[in-house]
Chains A and B, each alone.
Chain A
């Protein structure tokens, strides 16, 4: 790897990192997992003047569920940490389903959850999950902290609303209002391939009635797509084949994919509809589940 010349900084506190970002201006880039930044530097698509490596900052590798159910992921939590956190299967089923589908095992060992959100690749799996979960990013800058909803955080392809001197320190998934189910499906030709299409679904139910739903779409537009109307189609009633099909159709309709060597735009829309349908169908509570939950 022969990148252009750059300055390499290793701050040991968040404040120091922000100072370095401030000094470096738009030419400074944060290195967390480096799984996207370093390949881009190798190809010289990116030539940052300063690399601010945050890996030596203690206290950013936490992942915890608060007592109220809020889930927080620090800036240095690797994909593999989420993949191995078996307890997330129940509390964060969308994230648990996506964790083993992110990139490949090598990338997952090093790449970070928050870094993936900041990279804002329309092919990113985590942004779709966070959109489905109504998650947010906590950014810290010279003037303090602010919390930004992921849908607003992602501005477009590879761009976010982060200021050049802001560091995304944490991602937050709000607590569930009901019984949470979720899932993630991705069509890829090979592990680590960019998704032909990916779908994240998260729903919350009170009894059989869906109280909240979110659907995020991967790789079918110039940014992560929040399929709000599709999600709304299943809210306020039990999941039925009709509502599920309608959600699939609406998600396909809001998709804006390109035809390329991974498939035609029509095919990708069809995959979105199919995956939304498959995910929601798998989330229909069985009779036993409904009874159990009612008793509980």
Chain B
């Protein structure tokens, strides 16, 4: 609450100043201000806004990537690429819908997993009873600074059919799956334990975007779960730092006060730590959400969308359609739909996580 008050006060202070327009000194200051931000603005415009506009143009073309898209050699096809992607039944739409399903599950489990794990890690390395906290902070951050390519290759070996993970599982009598080649959805697997092997009629007959509801409800495949484990492990180090900063901002006096008032560890966590950490949690969820919708490099290295397209993601489709099939217009259209999905979801998530006034 204190923060809001300060911000309002400073806003009040600047307002009358902005009202008085002229004053040569001020104008000079403003010009200097623009001068100082100019490099950043130029870099943003040239490397961010201009390419976005160029890509938007490409997404309206049937462009094979072999000439300049602005030379007029490529046919202008209007919204055809978007129509093939979202409306017309065909391979592209079914691939895209599969990729959206895969990514929804990926995002769901990845964001939850990353937030929970990194919060737990932050709590652990922030606690006063842990010895060698600096050491643990460093090693928990290690996966984040290692190249994702190296980690992906490492996971490939760990999760082979006869790899380390399955050997360890066999010690406790579990016959592990062949992780990266198992296309079964985990929800389908769980349902089959309760005797639901095939799709109930209503679910298999109703389709959304050409994909039956039963297929939408498959859950992430075993292969996708491996991918989720990988990204949770690599990203939680970075998010742990965000949480750690938040935790260290919590005044010790408050914790002592609640302890004196007789609150237990869980009550302290639930009613003191968590409310004060709201901003950190919202930040981490936002970042994790955006990052996980764009998942590409792990898919590119580990699975290329297989098994049975259960690790296909929109970003990977965009790449394959562009460079594999020479359909750069389609690739750009996929990228823009992905962009829209991310923006909408981020807005929704900001709205849900907003600070409500008492």
Decide if A and B are genuine partners: no
> Which residues from chain B sit less than 8 Å from chain A, CB to CB?
none
> Which residues from chain A sit less than 8 Å from chain B, CB to CB?
none
